[in-house]
Structure 1
């Protein structure tokens, strides 16, 4: 039983590796740019996270105008 599970795991690993290789080759330019360029989305992701937090905090309790004021004040 263990041998069957091990073979199945190896087959899936081979398929997964082949898929990752194919995707990396298809998007080679984007992969190289992501690994070499100094730019990232960290600042934008941080702002989006903060906006989502403010929205969750006011959900069901605050009017749109109040949420808008909190968002504009936080930025």
Structure 2
């Protein structure tokens, strides 16, 4: 592997869970895209093909909001804003 997990977390600023979440979204998107382009599932709209990315972004935003609220409640206001 080119980068270790620690390096990816540090450079991207994502948590390990978020990297896993976006990786799964990319996998699901890739499968849906291949099915759509090959004509196997031509009834799928492009919105359905991109739903994994939308869902991953929503879950990532929810996860970040929860972490920020918990940091703010613990008195670490500076970290919660970052």
TM range (shorter): 0.3 to 0.5
Larger RCO (alpha carbons 8 Å, 6+ apart):
2
Question: Per residue, is there more helix in 1 or in 2?
Answer: 1
Report the TM-score when normalising by structure 1. Answer: 0.37
Report the TM-score when normalising by structure 2. Answer: 0.34
